[in-house]
Amino acid sequence: MMHMPSPVHEAEKMEIDRLLTGIRDRYGYDFTHYSWASLKRRIDRVCDHMHAASYTALLDKLFYDDRLFDEFLKHMSITVTEMFRDPPVYLAIREKIVPLLKTFPFVKIWHAGCATGEEAYSMAILLHEEGFLGRARLYATDFNKHSLDKAGEGIYPAKNSELFAANYHAAGGKGNFSDYYSASYERVKFKDYLKEHITFSYHNLVTDGVFGEMNLICCRNVLIYFDKILQNRVLTQLAESLRHGGFLCLGNKETLNFTAVKELFEPVDPRQRIYKKSGASHV
Amino acid sequence: MYKAVVMGMSAGGMHALQTILPALPRSFPLPIAIVQHLSPHYDSYLAEYLDRISSISVKEAEDKEPLQRGTVYLAPPNYHLLVEPDQTFSLSVDARVNYCCPSIDVLFESASDVFEEALIGVVLTGANADGSCGLKIIKARGGLTIVQNPATAESPYMPRAALDAASADYVVDIGSIAPLFRRLSQPQSRREHGCSVNC
């Protein structure tokens, strides 16, 4: 045989790299330091969806078509989420973090990578039950404008209500979950007094900068999509966006071990991946 | 010479793992990555239990962890497990594939991208068709495919679907899998199958 195949089909990898740098240069969205394997799966799905025969053909289609690129972005962001996803995390926030936040006259909480907003509404409900929502401002950000629109509406399919109610109770919910929304047809809409305390806004963790002086940052199941270089860059940015003594909550399988910011934090609840910023203020 | 093993199973998989893993030596020369469908609320104790009853090391795979020889990695519940080109794992919470998260196909396809003909793919007992697309890709890229004999599998649907989708190099009963692994992990084993002109 003339040709020795090389790992990961080198040519294919080069072609995807060209697609990603083309997108970065043209639109400013930088996917070059994403975890490769799941990125490739998503790009392959977009190619099918947009009838692009190759990654080069996909770049050709996207390059001069803003609307198609918008469609592409929808596929690239992960929107899988739930109300009170991983209930023990919310229980830990309720029991261990909220009492500490209550010592402040006013707190700022950032949901970085909020997708369609379910976790931000969950936090608002939790703070409401703790009598603390009036002294809190929640910032929920994402790079997917389509998801942010949905988050701002606060309307979700009713079919998930049973799962969400079970999560709510497992998370230490004190009332009836159904008190927090009005149901009509196939949908539920969360009450306006929850939304009033949430600011939904566009922010790209990869390309945008530090975001305010937060008391708590929830960035769950976002870092797993990044390679180690980008993980460290984003974690540094999150650390700089936290007040001294502020808290960082990661996804259940994400950790600060072996990262550039490990020394800046001490674990509060290692199992639920909640950390407190304690080290020097500069990285 | 093979570089990695990927295995998938669902219903009946617990018994299958209890049969295979304790029969492997601590010095088994390949990494083994496993997707076993579990209830989403299942905790991570499965890995601890299997580690206790096996001499080979068994653990839950962590994000960005390098694949090491002689170690068995289980996908954590509710996360897809993927292999990166630098031979580390990554996790994702992308949408379910074949109604499953973790999905066997997601592991098999990403591992096949990386290891190509040096990969062994194994589909065991189970009650859905997850894994059959992934096994087909492993086979198409020159990897080795093993399917549990549906006639003796606790739940025959998954191995049968895999056999419908891809031709298997071996169809074996559960008790023969560990001995087969030991044989295939010997350095000269690729020649036996002559699966590509490169061999």
pLDDT per residue of chain A (283 residues) written in tens, 0 to 9: 455 555 557 888 899 999 999 999 999 999 999 999 999 999 999 999 999 999 999 999 999 999 999 999 988 887 788 999 999 999 999 999 999 999 999 999 999 999 999 999 999 999 999 999 999 999 999 999 999 999 999 999 999 899 999 999 999 999 999 999 999 889 999 999 999 999 999 999 998 888 889 999 999 999 999 999 999 999 999 999 999 999 999 999 999 988 999 999 999 999 999 999 996 544 4
pLDDT single digits (tens) A140-194: 999 999 999 999 999 999 998 999 999 999 999 999 999 999 998 899 999 999 9
Number of H helices, E strands in chain A: 11, 10
Contacting A residues, span 83-122, partner chain B, CB-CB under 8 Å:
none
Q: Is residue B25 part of a domain?
A: yes
* Chains A & B: contacts with CB separation below 8 Å: 71
Q: Is residue B85 part of a domain?
A: yes
Closest CA to A158 of A179, A187, A181, A180: A187
* A38 with B79: Cβ contact below 8 A: no
Q: Is B173 a catalytic residue?
A: no
Instruction: Return d(Cα B96, Cα B103) in angstroms, integer.
Output: 7
* Per-residue pLDDT, A282: 47
Q: Is residue B196 part of a domain?
A: no
Q: How many domains does chain B have?
A: 1
Q: Is B80 a catalytic residue?
A: no
Q: Is residue B89 part of a domain?
A: yes
pLDDT single digits (tens) B51-97: 999 999 999 999 999 999 999 999 998 899 999 999 999 999 988 88
ipTM confidence score = 0.88
- A190 close to B (CB below 8 A): no
Residue in A1, A38, A42 closest to B90 by CB: A38
- A5 close to B (CB below 8 A): yes
Host domain of residue B126: 4-191
Residue ranges per structural domain of chain A: 10-76, 87-277
* B82 with A37: Cβ contact below 8 A: yes
Residue in A36, A40, A253 closest to B91 by CB: A253
Q: Is residue B198 part of a domain?
A: no
CATH no. of A87-277: 3.40.50.150
Check which CATH number belongs to the domain holding B21 and give it: 3.40.50.180
Cis peptide before B77 (omega within 30 of 0): no
Instruction: Return d(Cα B128, Cα A229) in angstroms, integer.
Output: 38
For A42, the token pair is 């998503």
**Closest chain A residue to B75 measured between Cα atoms?**
A253
- Give the active site residue among B54, B103, B110, B130: B130
pTM of the model: 0.90
**Closest chain B residue to A229 measured between Cα atoms?**
B64
Query: b/e for A193-208, b at 16 or more Cβ within 10 A?
Result: ebbebbebeebebbee
Examine the pLDDT at B198 and tell me if it is beyond 50: no
